[in-house]
Amino acid sequence: MNRRELLIAAAATAGAGQSLLAVPAGAAAPPPGGNPADLTLAEASKAIRSGALTGTDLTLACLGRIEAGNPRINAIITPMREQALAQAAMLDREAKAGKYRSALHGVPIALKDNIDTADAPTTNASALLKDHVPAEDAHVVRRLRQAGAIIVAKANLAEFAVSPTNATSNYGPVRNPWNPDHVSGGSSGGSGAAVATGMCLGALGTDSGGSVRIPAAWCGVVGLKPTAGLVSNGGAGPGIAILDTIGPIGRTVEDVALLFDQMTGYDPRDPMSVERPRPDYATGLRQPVSALRIGVPRRLFFEQLDPEVATAVDAALKALAMIVGSVRDVAFEWGSLPEGAFTAPDLLSYHGRPFAERPDAYQPRTRNIMRMLTNLLDDPQGGSTSQKMALHAATIRSIAQRQRTIDAAFDGFEVLALPTTKTLPPTVEAAVASEYGPGTEPLFSIENTMIFNLLGLPALSVPCGLSKDGLPIGLMIVGRRFSEATLLALGAAYERRTDWRGRRPVEPGARNNMVERGERR
C-alpha cells in the first residue's frame, strides 16, 4: 500500500467502517491525496500508531496550512518550524522503535501566546513583550511535551487576554475562518481559528470569562473550560488568578478529551492547583448518559438572544432530549457575585509599573482598561488603599466560598444546557471601531460564559448550528465541579446524535463553504 492508501485505511478504521475522508454529495472535496491536516487529532493518533503517518508528516502538513492560510486569518503569531520538526524527528525515532508516549505522540498542537515556552517568544500579543522568551515552559506545556505532543505554533490572542474579540492584538485581529469579515472570538481566537483551519490538530487557550468557549463557538470547534484548579495555571498569564483556567480546543469532543487527559495534574507551585484523581477522559466518552437530567436556565441566559442562536439552541435541546433522561426548564440560583472591579489588584500587580513607564506600548483598549482600574484604586471617594485592599480580599474569599458550595445549586438536575454566546460573531470592522474607541464597553455580552468562571464550574462548548450566512453557533453544557467526564460523555453523545461533528471551512478564509465529512455515528 502507498502512503495515501494507508492514510485512508487508517481513517476508515477510526470511522466505524465508514471512511472519514468520504464527502457527501454536494459538499466540497478534501484536497487531492487527503491532506493529513484535515484529520482529527484522534484519527491522526491512530494513523501514527498504524504507521500510516509520522509526526513529521503531520507537522509539515500543519506548517503548510499556516503558511497558506495565516496571511488571511492571522491565527498564528509565531510558527515554530525548526523546533517542531526537531521534536517530530525525535518522536518518529521513538515510534519506529515501538515507543509511544500517549495518544498525543507526534500530534502537532498550538498554544495561545500567553502560555510560556522556553524555546519561543511568549508575547501576550503585546509590543511590551514582543521579544520575551521565558526561562522555562509552563507546567501544562511540560506535561504535553512529555506526552509526545509537538508544539507547532504560538497562537494570536487579544493583548493580555482582555478582549473577547481579538481586535486588540498588537499583531492584528484574528479573522473568522468561516467568514473573514467577522471576528473569531476571544481572547483565545487564534487557537480556535487555528484548529478550525488545520493549522494544528488541537490547541490550548486560557479562559477568564469565556476566552476558550467563545472562539470555540464562533469557529465551529469544541472548547472546554475546566473546573478551577484542575489544570495548573503555572506559566500562563498574567491574569486573574481566581477566574483563570487553561482549556483545550479541538475539532471534536474526543480530541478535547485526548488533550485534557494529558493536561490535568497537581502543580505544587500553583496555589490554585487542586490534587484530584485523574480519570481517563477519552475512555469515559462512552459512559451512559441516558439517565442524565438536563436543566435549561432560561432566566438571564436566554434573554435577548439573536433569533438564529435561539433557533439553533432550541434544536440542540430537542436533540439532547432524545438521548438523556429529561430536559426541563430550571431555576439555577447562584447567589450574589461581584462586579469586575475586584480584578483591579490582580491586573495592576503585574501591569502597574510597565503601564506607568510605557503606556503607549499597550493597545488603546488595554490602555483604557488599565486607566480605569488605576482610577478605581486611586479614587478618594472609594476609601483608603488599605480599605480597598481589604474589600478586594473579602471579595476573593466570597468567590472562593461560592465556588466550594455551588454544587448545591444543581437541585434535581446534573447538567445545565444554554447558548455559549447570545449573539453571532460581529464584524472585524465593528470590533476594531469599538475596541479602539475611547471607552471600555464591550461590543457584546459575555455573561453566559463569565458566570461560570466566577462559580469555578466546568463548561463545554460544542457546535450546534450555522446561521443563514454560515457562521457557527455553540451550545454550552455545564456541570458540577470536577464533572468533566460527564460533560465530555454528553458532548460526545450529542455529536453522535447530530451532524455537526467535523464540519469546518474548506480552507483558511473560505467563505460560507464547508466540508461535511459524514461523521454521524
Helix (H, G, I), strand (E, B) or coil at 222: strand
Task: Please say whether the beta carbons of 77 and 190 come within 8 A.
Answer: yes
Task: Please say whether the beta carbons of 508 and 31 come within 8 A.
Answer: no
Radius of gyration of the chain (CA): 22
Looking at 211, 273, 434, 461, which residue is catalytic? 211
In the chain, the amino acid numbered 185 is G
Which phi and psi angles does 364 have, rounded to 5°?
-55, -45
Q: How far apart are CA 140 and CA 109, in angstroms?
A: 13
Q: How far apart are CA 189 and CA 134, in angstroms?
A: 22
Please identify which residue in the block is written with the cell numbers 480605569.
372
Cell matching residue 200: 494544528
Looking at 169, 187, 434, 483, which residue is catalytic? 187
Whether 187 is a known active-site residue: answer yes
Dihedral, CA of residue 73, residue 75, residue 77 and residue 82, to nearest 10: -100
Task: Please say whether the beta carbons of 201 and 259 come within 8 A.
Answer: no
Cell matching residue 325: 433522561
Q: How far apart are CA 145 and CA 165, in angstroms?
A: 29
Cell matching residue 232: 495548573
Nearest to 314 by CA among 296, 333, 292: 296
Q: What is the DSSP letter of 112?
A: E
Whether 211 is a known active-site residue: answer yes
Helix (H, G, I), strand (E, B) or coil at 249: strand
The CA-CA-CA angle for residues 230, 231, 233, to 5°, reads 125
Looking at 45, 46, 112, 184, which residue is catalytic? 112
Give kind and range of the element (H or E) at residue 203. Answer: strand 203-207
Instruction: Break the chain down into helix, strand, coil percent, rounded to 5.
Output: 40, 15, 45
Task: Please say whether the beta carbons of 195 and 203 come within 8 A.
Answer: yes
Helices (H), 51-149: 55-73, 81-96, 139-146
Burial class (CB in 10 A: 0-12, 13-18, 19+), 304: exposed
Helices (H), 119-175: 139-146
The residues annotated with a catalytic role in the active site are 112, 187, 211
